[in-house]
Amino acid sequence: MNKISLLNIHRRLSIFTRSLVAVLGLILLSGCWMMDDDGMFRERGSDYQLASEMPVMVVPEGADQDALGELYVIAEIPDTSLLLEEMTGAPRPQPLSGSLLDEEVKIQVLGGKRWVLTNRAPSEVWPRIRNILNRNALPTGFADASAGVLETVWLELQSDDIYKHRFQFSIEPGVQVDSTEVAIVHMHLEKGGDSSAWPLQSDDDEREKAMANMLASALAGDESSGTVSLLAQSIGGESKVEIITPKELYPYILLKLDYDRSWASVGYATGRDGFLLVDQDRTEGVFYVHYGDPEEEEPGFFADLFSDDEDELRLSVTYLIRLIKGDEGIEVRLTDSEGQLLERNEVLRLLKKIRVNLS
């Protein structure tokens, strides 16, 4: 047997060996794939469904408790009397306001107060404002993320030879879902004077207005949108709006605002998402509204031709929205046109529509 024959035999054996190894590998992999949960490679993707909440570790008296804490806090589920068997299918998520699809920044004024409103969460707005102040040579002298407060250092302006100035920015959750309100206070002091407490209102309204315009323009054109501060996840305190669903009483919206702001905010919502404002009585705290489901199909040509006058239908009052001063804030309650209570599910559905359109 010559050398060429030996090489051919060796080549064929090598090809056969590689093919055999590949076939055996495929067989082994197929066997692994067909193994159940008791096999060698157990599927662990559903293990979280079997997890249980463990009791909180108790630190002995006298020991340092600061080193221990819950890494992932389980949020409390609000108590509601809406039973699962009353629902058909999985509950739908709360609808988002249409203004949340694109970023909007605007300045709102009510009752002598001014604030910058943007439909972004406070944890996103906080780092953007800090960047804006740094880019505009406005150094930060004090920052408290948990309270949502930023204060500049004392500034000496070329246009003012008498006073030095500083600004305070209060960042807190807005009325709308995932929105932020930024209130600004201006303070001036004679050069060389000692610092004092912040005033309740700005010392110079024009300078406050100019700073609000600058901030709103900078937020609208800011390219750093999407950056989130982990330190500011709970910035500015609790939410100003909450849907309360007690067991015995009917659901209502709780507004942690003053009455003027609450009235204006609810009035804004009465013209959106199917609601039409027919009349209002501020003395009694009542909005008279007509509601038509916006998801219902529009009537055709012949239906319009033989139906009642559309304006007459639109002016019919179907619900009353009442604002009542409570111990914790302003309560927004809903009844039918005669002031009678409605079904709980219907009340909750309509309150959610009002809630997402508050301003």
Identify the CA nearest to 195 among candidates 131, 257, 149, 151. Answer: 151
Quote the CA–CA distance of 214 and 169 in Å, as a whole number.
13
Residue 293 has pLDDT above 90, yes or no: no
Identify the CA nearest to 148 among candidates 262, 261, 231, 241. Answer: 231
pLDDT (tens digit, 9 = 90+) per residue, 37-46?
Answer: 555 567 777 8
Q: Which residue has the higher pLDDT, 215 or 227?
A: 215
pLDDT (tens digit, 9 = 90+) per residue, 257-291?
Answer: 999 999 999 999 999 989 999 999 999 999 999 99
pLDDT (tens digit, 9 = 90+) per residue, 319-351?
Answer: 999 999 999 999 999 999 999 999 999 999 999
Quote the CA–CA distance of 95 and 91 in Å, as a whole number.
12
Quote the CA–CA distance of 96 and 178 in Å, as a whole number.
9
**Are 274 and 294 within 8 A, CB to CB?**
yes
**Are 32 and 41 within 8 A, CB to CB?**
yes
- Domain map (residue ranges) of the chain: 98-232, 241-356
pLDDT (tens digit, 9 = 90+) per residue, 124-174?
Answer: 999 999 999 999 999 999 999 888 999 999 999 888 999 999 999 999 999
Whether 241-356 and 98-232 are alike in CATH topology: the answer is no
Considering only the top CATH level, what class is 98-232?
alpha beta
Identify the CA nearest to 314 among candidates 289, 347, 285, 348. Answer: 289
Quote the CA–CA distance of 54 and 223 in Å, as a whole number.
44
pTM of the complete model: 0.66
Fold of 241-356: TATA-Binding Protein (3.30.310)
Banded pLDDT at 101 (limits 50, 70, 90): low
pLDDT (mean) for 245-255: 89
